[in-house]
Amino acid sequence: MKLSIILGTRPEIIKLSPIIRILEKTNIDWHIIHTNQHYSENMDKIFFEELNLPKPKYNLNIGSGTHGEQTGKMLIKIEKVLLKEKPNVVIVQGDTNTVLAGALVASKLKIEVAHVEAGLRSFDKNMPEEINRVLTDHISSYLFAPTEKAKDNLLNEGIEENKIFVVGNTIVDATLQNLKIAEKNTFVREFFENITNMEDYFLLTLHRAENVDNEERLKNIIDGIIKVIDIFDKTIIFPIHPRTKKRLEEFNLLEKLKSNKKIKIIEPVGYLEFLMLEKNAELILTDSGGVQEEACILKIPCITLRDNTERPETVEVGANILVGDNKEKLINAVEIMLNKERDWENPFGDGKSGERIIKILHGNIER
Ligand code: UD1
Ligand code: UDP
Per-residue pLDDT reduced to its tens digit, 80-105: 999 999 999 999 999 999 999 999 99
Which residue, by CA, sits nearest to atom 14 of ligand 2? 11
If DSSP codes are grouped into helix, strand and coil, which group holds residue 5? Answer: strand
Cα(273)–Cα(32) distance, integer angstroms? 25
The whole-number pLDDT of residue 366 equals: 58
On whether the CB atoms of residues 285 and 291 are closer than 8 A, the answer is no
The set of residues, in sequence order, having a beta carbon less than 8 Å from that of 34 and lying 6+ positions away, is 7, 8, 56, 58, 59, 60
Distance 65 CA to ligand 1 centre (A): 9
The whole-number pLDDT of residue 367 equals: 41
- Fill in the DSSP letter of residue 251: T
Element holding 97 (H helix, E strand)? helix 97-108
Max CA separation in the chain (angstroms): 62
**How far is C-alpha 90 from the chain's CA centre?**
19
**Ligand 1 within 6 A of CB of 246:** yes
The set of residues, in sequence order, having a beta carbon less than 8 Å from that of 177 and lying 6+ positions away, is 18, 21, 351
On whether the CB atoms of residues 303 and 333 are closer than 8 A, the answer is yes
The whole-number pLDDT of residue 88 equals: 96
Q: Which amino acid is located at 31 in the chain?
A: H
Extract the residue ranges of the chain whose pLDDT is less than 50: 367
On whether the CB atoms of residues 305 and 211 are closer than 8 A, the answer is yes
On whether the CB atoms of residues 127 and 213 are closer than 8 A, the answer is no
Which residue, by CA, sits nearest to atom 4 of ligand 1? 96
On whether the CB atoms of residues 234 and 268 are closer than 8 A, the answer is no
Strand ranges, E, within 35-125: 58-59, 89-93, 112-116
**Ligand 1 within 6 A of CB of 245:** no
The whole-number pLDDT of residue 131 equals: 98
Residues within a 6 A CB radius of ligand 2: 10-11, 14, 205, 207, 239, 268-269, 271, 274, 288-291, 294
